[in-house]
Structure 1
Amino acid sequence: MKVVIAPNAFKNSLPADEVAAAIRQGLLQGGYKGDCVCHPVGDGGDGTGALLNHCLGAEVIAATVADPLGRSITASFGWIAATKTAVIELADASGLRLLDPKEYDPLRATTAGCGQLIKAALDRGAAEILFCIGGSATVDGGSGLLKELGVVFLNEKKEPLQQLPADLVSLRGIDRQHSDPRLNATTFTILCDVKNHLLGAKGAAAVFGPQKGAGPDEVRLLESGLKQLRRITERVTGTDINQLTYSGAAGGVAATCMAFFNAKAVNGIDYFLSRTGFEALLKDAGWVITGEGAIDHQTLEGKAPYGVARMAKRYGIPVIGVAGKVPEEEDTALNEYFDWLLPINEQPLPLEEAIRLTRTNLEKTGRKIASTLNSQLDIP
């Protein structure tokens, strides 16, 4: 009986490919004799680009770009020559993981480096861009990215804003006449793992700003800047970016890419599964194992394990969900998609220790799953 192992990353602990490998190792240690097929997945979050590069056979191209605070770094993008497709991971140039926590500064951090990666891909002749936007250090509404691609943000004196995103509150005009024309001929798809809108209590500043170092006053300033960006963008493009689903993703970068470059934002996990041929792997599968750091009711809002489980259920395949944390009480909605939810920690642990033991506990969980599956197959 074939088991398909398709987990997402366990955030701050293990990338998806290592999670899949640990579960497979545990299954083998537990004496499971069936096929174990690993297909780690991403939903647009940090690491999705690397998985797409692997699945699509992309060449990795290095480029010198700015980090979130403007320092020169080497980042990369995936390149598929046959289709002229570039796979760009926002976090590689503008990610929170590039900063020490004491450097978190969302009033100064920008997506400029990511714009430079896009420009490098266009210079190479990109006809398609796959843009994975999780893990950003920014709440700049994509202004840094747009500036690198020729969009100019102006104050009331029609002078360029100097400090993005802090100066967005002074935004009075946007000049797009010199924006890179190559983007008009490029298919631009943004993979998103959250559906938040740009503004408000569930918006980019309020929800994600504190994760990136913003205190209450900074959240208010960022929100004011994004409101002004919304007003001027609507005047220039005719698009109310706050009404767009996914507009709050990655500090608002999805919003302005949709407005200025006709980019299309999509549910990251559904797109990933389709693009990487996951459905074909389900043929003859007896079980699917998926998971990530936590599986709870929010998982059903479009997270990776939900996407995997939903596709498996179309074929009547039972699904095992593994996570560092699962609901203590039965959740009827989750039970529609997950036949078995397994916490990898046998007892409550401090977060740091749980993270340190993730690989070991995933292997233990794999052995536990193997024991159950073997008993179903009458394997001693």
Structure 2
Amino acid sequence: MYILIAPDKFRGSLEASEVCQSVTEGIRKAYPDAEIVSIPLADGGEGTTRILTEQSKGKFITAIVHDPLGRYIEAEYGISGDGSTAFIEMAAASGLNLLKPWEQNPLLTDTVGTGELIIHALNAGVKKIILGIGGSATTDAGFGMACALGYQFFDENNEPVIPNGENLVRIKSINTDKVDTRIKHTSIVVACDVTNPLYGESGAAFVYGPQKGADKATVSKLDQGLRNIAKVAAETFGGDISQAPGTGAAGGLGAGALWFLNAKLQEGVGIVMEETHIAAHVRKADLVITGEGKVDEQTLSGKVVKGLASLCQSNNVPLAVVCGTLMITPEEAAKAGITYALSVLNRPMSLQQAETEAYSLVRDATFHLVQLFFYKRHR
């Protein structure tokens, strides 16, 4: 029997790799002779770079870059084992997690460090970059990133504009003469799971600005700035992409990736599954086991479990889901392509208890799951 283990993390308790270990132990108890393959997954957000780097037998690189407020920091990214692909999370250089609460102000932050990570990867000789854009501290539409890549931005007096959210409204022209030409010859894919446009009530400033420290006046100013850079970029590059789904991601970095990197926006879980070649493993599997901390309606609209369910359904392979909290009905599970779903909780307990005991809970639940599966299969 060939069993594929492909879970997301259980946030707050287990990394995806730890879930794999726990599930493996449960399988071995129930079916010692099973052939087991483990592929930790992620949805394109936090932890994706580590998973893709490790799955490709790659290495981690440390670069000195600028944080969202222009201070030097060390930021890490990954390079695949064959050296062809870089895995970058913009949060490593431009993330909200790098700032103290009182430092959070998207008028003052920028994405220069993200651009510097891209340059560092290009210097390492990569031909492809996978860029995760979750967790940003910025609302600069990739203005800072573009500056690091050689784009020049000028105001109405033809004076250079310093990159940050506040200065978006001052941009009157964009010069591309000094842009790093390697960008044109590099395939860049952006993990983007939101569908917000660049500006407006559903845009980057109004929806995500308050999470980054913006009050109402700041949100309004940022939105004006995003409208302005969209206008100038449309004049510079031709065509207005500001209302395209995902352009409002990461403070408008979704739009910036299209303008300045000629990137492709793609659903995060799809990127991870493609890079880990998981479809080939699913086709060979007798059973696929996945899981995450909470399975709810959001899970069924684009996360790891849904992505795997679709893949398993098309290959007629049963999919079992283990989770901490199960909040979907049997009908919803069946419609999504989930064969069997169970919570690992075996008694009433607090969240703290569940997180502390997560490893053993997942292991024991897997044991019972696999016993049942093979009993039904062989009776």
Give the alignment's TM-score, normalised by structure 1. 0.88
What does 1:9-20 align with in structure 2 at a 5 Å threshold? 9-20=9-20
Residue matched to 2:296: 296
Once the 2 structures are TM-superposed, how far is the Cα of residue 347 of structure 1 from its aligned partner? 7.5
Residue matched to 1:6: 6
Residue matched to 1:367: 364
What does 1:223-372 align with in structure 2 at a 5 Å threshold? 223-327=223-327, 329=329, 332=332, 335-345=335-345, 354=351, 357-358=354-355, 360-372=357-369
Q: Deviations over 1:254-280 (max 9, x none)?
A: 211212221112222222212211122
Is the 2:56–2:81 contact (alpha carbons within 8 Å) kept by the matching residues of 1?
no
Q: Where does structure 1 lack aligned partners over 5 or more consecutive residues?
A: none
Q: Give the aligned residue type for 1:69.
A: L
- Give, in whole Å, the separation in 1 of the partners of 2:103 and 2:348: 32
Is the 1:41–1:51 contact (alpha carbons within 8 Å) kept by the matching residues of 2?
yes
| Cα distance change on mapping 1:185 and 1:56 into 2, 3 Å | same
Is the 1:233–1:241 contact (alpha carbons within 8 Å) kept by the matching residues of 2?
no
Once the 2 structures are TM-superposed, how far is the Cα of residue 297 of structure 1 from its aligned partner? 2.5
Once the 2 structures are TM-superposed, how far is the Cα of residue 348 of structure 1 from its aligned partner? 8.3
How many equivalent pairs are there? 375
**Which moves more between the two structures, 172-181 or 360-369?**
360-369
Q: Residue 10 of structure 2: SS of its match in structure 1?
A: coil
What does 1:26-105 align with in structure 2 at a 5 Å threshold? 26-28=26-28, 31-33=30-32, 34-80=34-80, 82=82, 84-105=84-105
| Cα distance change on mapping 1:192 and 1:155 into 2, 3 Å | same
| Cα distance change on mapping 1:159 and 1:194 into 2, 3 Å | same
Once the 2 structures are TM-superposed, how far is the Cα of residue 189 of structure 1 from its aligned partner? 1.6
Query: Between the two proteins, what is the percent identity of the paired residues?
Result: 36
Is the 1:19–1:359 contact (alpha carbons within 8 Å) kept by the matching residues of 2?
no
- Give, in whole Å, the separation in 2 of the partners of 1:115 and 1:286: 44
Q: Deviations over 1:78-114 (max 9, x none)?
A: 2347453222221221223333344333222221111
Q: Where does structure 2 lack aligned partners over 5 or more consecutive residues?
A: none
- Give, in whole Å, the separation in 2 of the partners of 1:219 and 1:131: 26
**Which moves more between the two structures, 190-199 or 340-349?**
340-349
RMSD: 2.7
Is the 2:131–2:188 contact (alpha carbons within 8 Å) kept by the matching residues of 1?
yes
Is the 1:25–1:363 contact (alpha carbons within 8 Å) kept by the matching residues of 2?
no
Is the 1:43–1:192 contact (alpha carbons within 8 Å) kept by the matching residues of 2?
no
- Give, in whole Å, the separation in 2 of the partners of 1:167 and 1:330: 52
Once the 2 structures are TM-superposed, how far is the Cα of residue 346 of structure 1 from its aligned partner? 5.9
Once the 2 structures are TM-superposed, how far is the Cα of residue 160 of structure 1 from its aligned partner? 2.3
| Cα distance change on mapping 1:290 and 1:376 into 2, 3 Å | closer
